[in-house]
A and B are shown apart, each in its own frame.
Chain A
Amino acid sequence: MADLPFESVYRKRGNTLFASILGGADPFDFWAGPFYVGLFGVIAMLAIVVGVATLFIAVGQYGDWDLWRANIPSPGRQYGLGGAPFLQGGAWQIVVICATISFFAWMLREVDICRKLEMGFHIPAMYGLAVSAWVVLQILRPLVMGCWCEGFDLSFTGHLTWVSNTGFRYMNFYANPFHAWAVLGFFLTAMVLAMHGGAILGTYNTDKDPNVEMRREDSFWRDYVGYSIGEYGIHRLGFYLAVFTLIMSDLCIFTSGPLVTDWVQFWHPF
Chain B
Amino acid sequence: MATIISKLPELPEPLEDAEPNDLDNNDALGIRVGIPFRLELLRDFKIDTQVGTIWLGTWGVVSAFAFGIGLLVTLLAGLDQAGGSFLILVKYYANLNTAPPDGLGLAHSLRGGGYWQIITLFWAISTLAWAGRCFERLRRHKWRPYLLFAWLSAIFLTACIWVFHPLIIGSWADAPALGLNSDLQWAQNFSVLWGNLYYNPFHQLAIFFLFGSTMLWGMHGATILATSSEGSHHEDAEIKNLTSGSQKAMLFWRWTMGFNAFPKSIHDWLWWFAVGVVLSSGLGILSTGVITNNWYAWGVDHGTVKQYGEMTRSFINQRPQPMPPMSQAPAGYIPAPGK
Which residues of A are interface residues toward B (Cβ below 8 A)?
1, 4, 6-7, 10, 31, 33-36, 64, 66, 68-69, 71, 109-110, 113-114, 116-123, 125-127, 129-130, 156-157, 160-161, 163-164, 172, 174-175, 180, 185-187, 189-206, 210-220, 222-233, 235-243, 245-246, 267-270
Q: Is B267 an interface residue (CB 8 A)?
A: yes
Shortest Cβ distance from A69 into B: residue: B306
**Most chain A C-beta atoms within 10 Å of own C-beta, residue among B214, B219, B228, B306:** B214
Known: A193-B270, A197-B146, A228-B50. A117 touches B214 (CB 8 A): no
B218 in contact with A6 (CB, 8 Å) = no
With the chains together, A114 CA to B338 CA distance in Å?
A: 54
Other than A202-B146, A210-B234, give 19 A-B pairs with Cβ distance below 8 A.
A71-B306, A110-B252, A117-B252, A120-B225, A130-B218, A160-B198, A190-B213, A190-B273, A198-B271, A203-B142, A210-B236, A210-B237, A214-B237, A216-B142, A222-B54, A226-B34, A228-B48, A246-B214, A267-B338
Mark contacts of B231-267 with chain A using CB atoms, 8 A cut-off: 1 yes-contact digit, 0 otherwise. Answer: 0011111011010000111111011111110001001
A123 in contact with B47 (CB, 8 Å) = no
Interface size in chain B (residues, C-beta < 8 A)? 101
B204 in contact with A36 (CB, 8 Å) = no
A36 in contact with B221 (CB, 8 Å) = no
Q: Which residues B243-299 have CB closer than 8 A to chain A? A: 247-252, 254-260, 264, 267-275, 277-278, 299
B247 in contact with A237 (CB, 8 Å) = no
Which residues of B are interface residues toward A (Cβ below 8 A)?
14-17, 32, 34, 36, 45-48, 50-55, 133-134, 137-138, 140-147, 150, 154, 184-185, 187-188, 196, 198-199, 204, 209-211, 213-229, 233-237, 239-240, 242, 247-252, 254-260, 264, 267-275, 277-278, 299, 303-306, 308, 337-339
Q: Which of A175, A214, A223 contacts B236 (CB 8 A)?
A: A214
Give chain B nearest CB distance to A3 CB in angstroms: 9
Number of A-B pairs, beta carbon distance below 8 Å: 306
> For A160, what are the chain B residues with a Cβ–Cβ distance below 8 Å?
198-199, 204, 305
Q: Which of B45, B184, B217, B234 contacts A214 (CB 8 A)?
A: B234
**Most chain A C-beta atoms within 10 Å of own C-beta, residue among B142, B236, B305:** B236
A206 in contact with B214 (CB, 8 Å) = no
With the chains together, A10 CA to B275 CA distance in Å?
A: 35
